[in-house]
Structure 1
């Protein structure tokens, strides 16, 4: 029963992390220590991503320009505009930083492991999924902050200190991982389970520290049942538009069915693995937790939705869904 409700084990981990931060948030003298641990976890996470993402496969896969180009355009173009529209629609109804979280959701890259796994389960082009995930995340490290600054106006004004933090905490570890990829990637691939555990632990730490600050700042006092319902309704709308739009785009481009499935999951999914560290880098702690709410809800919902969609797509091999 639980495996059907939570097909990805990381979903209950995220639930538990938010619950722990709500009941036992970091306070007082422990805050600087927790923030230091979170920063170290983020640095390690991006170093590990740099080691793991296959540079040579990206270069090889770029030759499939129709699929990879459409995934890039959908993820950072259409989804960014959807996020901007969701922010505008919810701004009169929600706190400003919470509404801003929908734009933040829209500019994030796709997931890596879950998009590839869902594509494989659905009968998609797995090799192209790996390339798409790598290409989107390589691009997103630099492109996501720039898109946010461009679309968010004064709310997205990224100062010199934030730029320095992005470079030192996200970009430098990532490219350091790329440099040593030749030596460390075989070990990471041989210990996938351990690497995934470390990966998700780092994400959980970043989410816990960011959400703790939001709880201390009174997030649950600022949000009532109506506003929480608005967040869930907005996320549900985004999910239907993103998954439906990605599938429709694949049909318009007349992609082969396996490539269309790859575009569906690579284009419509969004990464908390980039979202949590980027929010912690761009925003003060109390604001970061509020901004993360939409991507937390979207991320958990997309994993559940993908796990339900993928078997249905595989069972209908040879049938083109319009």
Structure 2
């Protein structure tokens, strides 16, 4: 039996801790400054770690790369908006905003690559697809959030400035310094990964503390959590089935199909939590990240099973 992912355990623990001991008063202000610095550091390191050569070499497979972007930024928002219209009263409006927000996020990088490798898929193509998705997401996610949520204030001059200062500029700085720092970052990959995950946990704690203080658990019952899990699962299943069908329609090889299915169905917690912190006010950020946290766990569990199934299929030569 496979052991649970330590990061998922830590993530659940942080949510529980924030529920029992949320940050208040001056502590919240201090944590706000710290999380802003950590978000900038995370995106700086993303810029440092990005291998431009891998992107350039695999961008030629435009059909696969385009379909991954289509799944992330078109298919997901359409399905989310459809579910919202079909089942508007299944969740409260704040939680629905979180569901629609996760639909606008880019693909995750690390787990997409790891699961593609496990499944025997096109790893180089997955590196390119996940990387491109995250670069595009820095620009496109706030625009999509504004369109999908019909909130003009989401894409305002202030939010543009915040996105540029906290996400885009550090990323560009990391890219500029990448030739100097890439080897150093590669040698310290494990340490940087721990710092990245610790940063995400602190951002989740800060955002969730705001939500707890504002009474998130008085708004959400166990029935609401089950409904949210079902909607997250429905999102994932529809995208998995659709992406698999698209790969067959386009005549992809089995290896490319793995990349499309496993990259196109993912949503990035590492990008999503900082973006929620930048785009949304403190009063709603905690509500917004809850659907993403739950989706992250569902996608890892289900996509791991799918990756194992692809691996067995490749081993049997089918």
Q: Shorter-chain TM-score category?
A: over 0.9
Residue by residue over 1:250-294, the C-alpha shift from the partner in whole angstroms, topping out at 9 and shown as x without a partner, is: 111110000000111110010011110010001111200101111
CA distance change for structure 1 residues 60 and 294 in 2, over 3 Å: closer, same or farther? same
Which of 269, 273, 277 is the equivalent residue of 1:280? Answer: 277
Question: Could you tell me which residue of structure 2 aligns to residue 10 of structure 1?
Answer: 7
**How far, CA to CA, are the matches of 2:64 and 2:115 in structure 1?**
17
**How far, CA to CA, are the matches of 1:223 and 1:262 in structure 2?**
36
**How far, CA to CA, are the matches of 1:67 and 1:191 in structure 2?**
31
Q: Secondary structure at the match of 2:155?
A: coil
Which of 31, 35, 40 is the equivalent residue of 2:32? Answer: 35
Question: Could you tell me which residue of structure 2 aligns to residue 88 of structure 1?
Answer: 85
Q: Under a length normalisation based on structure 1, what TM-score does the superposition of the two structures give?
A: 0.94
Q: Which moved more, 1:241-250 or 1:312-321?
A: 312-321
Which of 208, 218, 222 is the equivalent residue of 2:219? Answer: 222
Unpaired stretches in structure 1, ≥5 consecutive residues? none
Contact 1:148 1:156 in 2 (8 A): no
Q: Secondary structure at the match of 2:314?
A: coil
Deviation of 1:230 after TM superposition, in Å, equals 1.1
Question: Could you tell me which residue of structure 2 aligns to residue 261 of structure 1?
Answer: 258
Q: Which moved more, 1:311-320 or 1:183-192?
A: 311-320
Contact 1:49 1:174 in 2 (8 A): yes
Which of 20, 23, 39 is the equivalent residue of 1:23? Answer: 20
Deviation of 1:56 after TM superposition, in Å, equals 2.8
Contact 1:21 1:211 in 2 (8 A): yes
Contact 1:87 1:101 in 2 (8 A): no
CA distance change for structure 1 residues 258 and 94 in 2, over 3 Å: closer, same or farther? same
**How far, CA to CA, are the matches of 1:269 and 1:199 in structure 2?**
19
Deviation of 1:68 after TM superposition, in Å, equals 0.7
Question: Could you tell me which residue of structure 2 aligns to residue 245 of structure 1?
Answer: 242
Q: How does 1:185-200 map to 2 (within 5 A)?
A: 185-200=182-197
**How far, CA to CA, are the matches of 1:287 and 1:242 in structure 2?**
27
Aligned residues: 318
Question: Could you tell me which residue of structure 2 aligns to residue 310 of structure 1?
Answer: 307
Q: Runs in 1 of length 4+ with deviation above 6 angstroms?
A: 318-321
Question: Could you tell me which residue of structure 2 aligns to residue 270 of structure 1?
Answer: 267
Contact 1:22 1:212 in 2 (8 A): yes
Contact 2:154 2:280 in 1 (8 A): no
Unpaired stretches in structure 2, ≥5 consecutive residues? none
CA distance change for structure 1 residues 104 and 174 in 2, over 3 Å: closer, same or farther? same
CA distance change for structure 1 residues 18 and 155 in 2, over 3 Å: closer, same or farther? farther
